[in-house]
Amino acid sequence: MSPLDIAWVVPIIIPFFMGLIVGLILRRTINLMLMFTVLAILLIISGTISITLPEIFDYAAKVLPKIIELGKSSLNILPYSSISFIIGLILGLQGIRLRR
């Protein structure tokens, strides 16, 4: 195969694998956040920790702008408009198994 024969494959394969990796990372992150939420709810119900709504709102007001800025910067890096990236992202979120 000449380089011209495989030159059109690279722009398709790279975003696909990027989407796959991002999807797997997002899936693990969502699972981890869910586990921490359940743990926090159990600790609140058992009375081990106590938090009030104003504390939650104050903390969210501090943290959410930082998260939004981080998300905006990653939108400039990821090729989210590429169909191969989207397919890889969907497969990664579904938790495709690469090994048997």
What pLDDT score does 1 carry? 66
The answer to whether the beta carbons of residues 26 and 92 sit under 8 Å apart is: yes
Q: Tell me if 65 is assigned to some domain.
A: no
Q: Tell me if 17 is assigned to some domain.
A: yes
Q: Tell me if 16 is assigned to some domain.
A: yes
Domain span at residue 29 reads: 3-50+81-94
pLDDT in tens, 6-38: 788 888 899 999 999 999 999 999 999 999 999
- pLDDT exceeds cutoff 60 at 99: no
What pLDDT score does 100 carry? 52
How many Cβ atoms are within 10 Å of 87's Cβ, its own excluded? 16
Number of domains in the chain: 1
pLDDT in tens, 36-71: 999 999 999 998 988 888 998 999 999 999 999 988
Q: Tell me if 75 is assigned to some domain.
A: no
Q: Tell me if 43 is assigned to some domain.
A: yes
Q: Tell me if 61 is assigned to some domain.
A: no
